[in-house]
Amino acid sequence: MEKLYYTAGKSAERINIQPDLATTADSSALKAAYQEILKFYYDHRNDPQVSGNDSVRMAMEKIAVTTEAQLARFFAARKQPDSVIAAYRRIGQDIPAGREDIGGATLALALTYRALNNLDSTLAIYNRLLADYYPPWDSLERVNNDVIAVPVDKIKIGQALKDSIMTARFMREALAYYGRLKSDYPGSVTARTASIYTGRTYAMMGQWDQAITELQNVTDSTGQMAVQAEVLIAGIYEGPKNDPRRAIALYRRILDRKPDSATVGRAMLRLGRALCEVKEFEEGRQILADAKKKFERYPNLVAPAQMQYAQAFEQQGRWDRAVSEYQWLMENYPYSEEAFRVALYVPEHFASIKDEKMADIWYNRAIEFYQSAARNRQGQPMAIAGGGALVDLYCTCPPRHRRRRLRFVRASSPRRSWRRRNER
């Protein structure tokens, strides 16, 4: 069984190293290798030399559990959710597994249903996970950040469903869950993490002062306020409390503490944005430019930084420069959420100021942009977003553009015949 597992691992490694060169035969071979491991386990788990030898039995179970998890990820990459669900369900149900493996499989199962928008199943599994996986620790008694965040995600589900009664209940449940952790493990990392999530919960409830009070009491090993808590407080002052000056001071203090790189990037982005909000554009843009340079290998940070950079010029009334920066964003980070928003925003702005020539240029540019996303990202969320954006573009562009643009929308729409009938 170990030899089979080693062979499958080498096949997976080859595909992961050069995924673009992987053929259908490569994928089929990897799937067959995983299935062969599991068949060996099921065929031999009741053999006397296995069932009667704890070390052999446990080793085989561990390999089988790991293989099921890898098979689930294999199916997920190929967008086969039913197979993903079946694989994760077998862990702990058909194959004995430890607490940590069962917890990981249960969480992955919930997230699979979440991605499918099957929220009833998601919530049912979340509830089981919170009950069975308490405290939310791994085998080394470290906090499992994915599990401890589940009560907050339940609140987000309630909000997405626009069910105020459900949301209020989930908020109460979250406060009770985090309160229990603080009570059961006072003074521990678990309690500090629970306090941070308590602050998050109060913020989601709109109780900003209670959120700040809770977060201010979260300290690190040196006795200072925990950086993560300070970032959340700064966000509250920048956003709902509308006190950008206070937020700026907090972001500067966070950066002075030299936290981890992810926090540095987030703080630089928010500091630049807050400075522009109080019309300190030069410093704000410089910080955003520094963030782009420092984190140039991280598109998820560079794209929003570039968006803020362009918006700062627009806030100053320097529209021509802003358009140039928006165009740079679309050309260099075409599959970012920010670029998708900009592609529609710029032509709409030109149309609103009655600059029909530039509006026409940018509507055409937007069509090409969204078509490219739909064409080059087939089967991916960006392809769907590109098709949807084309429809939005048709609906929002000025009437004089619509007839000419309808053919572009129809070419990218799965409902071509419906549109043809209605055009008549």
| pTM for the model | 0.80
d(CA 109, CA 113) in angstroms, rounded, equals 6
- b/e 321-343 (16+ beta carbons within 10 angstroms → b): ebbebbbebbeebbbbebbbebb
Distance from C-alpha of 424 to C-alpha of 422, rounded to nearest angstrom: 5
Res 404 pLDDT > 60: no
In which residue are the tokens 């035969």 written?
Answer: 25
pLDDT tens by residue, 303-342: 999 999 999 999 999 999 999 999 999 999 998 999 999 9
CA dihedral 189, 269, 252, 295 (to 10 degrees): 80
Percentage of the chain exceeding pLDDT 70? 83
Higher pLDDT, 416 or 66: 66
Separation between Cα atoms, residue 142 and residue 100, nearest integer Å: 11
**For residue 367, what pLDDT band results from cuts at 50, 70 and 90?**
confident
Provide mean pLDDT across the span 249-278: 96
Token pair belonging to 54: 């704890």
For the chain, what's the residue count? 424
Q: How many CA atoms lie within 13 A of 230 on its CB side?
A: 22
Which band of pLDDT confidence, cut at 50, 70 and 90, is reported for residue 413?
A: very low
Higher pLDDT, residue 185 or 20: 185
**Greatest mean pLDDT among 202-206, 369-373, 407-411:** 202-206
Mean pLDDT of 174-196: 97
pLDDT tens digits for range 147-168: 999 999 999 999 999 999 999 9
Q: Residue 218: is its pLDDT beyond 50?
A: yes
Residues pairing with 225 in the sheet: 219
Question: Residue 77 has what pLDDT?
Answer: 86
Decide which of 380 and 341 is more confident: 341
Select the highest-mean-pLDDT range: 57-66, 175-184, 393-402, 409-418.
175-184
Could you tell me which residues are beta bridge partners of residue 239? Answer: none
Contacts of 301 (CB under 8 A, 6+ apart): 265, 266, 269, 291, 295
> Cα torsion for 205, 206, 212, 214, to the nearest 10°?
-20
- Are the C-beta atoms of 243 and 237 separated by less than 8 Å? yes
Rounded alpha-carbon distances, angstroms, from residue 184 to 57, 206, 226: 35, 27, 21
Domain residue limits, the chain? 334-424
pLDDT, averaged across the chain: 86
Report the percent of the chain where pLDDT is more than 90. Answer: 68
Section 36-54 average pLDDT: 90
In degrees and rounded to multiples of 5, residue 137 shows phi and psi of -115, 155
Which pLDDT score is estimated for 386? 54
* Long-range contact set of residues 329-337: C-beta below 8 Å, sequence gap at least 24: 329/303, 330/365, 330/369, 332/306, 333/299, 333/302, 333/303, 333/306, 334/369, 334/372, 334/373, 335/373, 335/377, 335/382, 336/299, 336/300, 336/303, 337/303
pLDDT over 90 at 371, yes or no: no
Q: What is the pLDDT of residues 80-101, one digit of tens each?
A: 999 999 999 999 999 999 999 9
Return d(Cα 118, Cα 128) in angstroms, integer. Answer: 16
Q: Around 152, how many Cα atoms within 13 Å sit in the side-chain half-sphere?
A: 18
pLDDT number for residue 377: 56
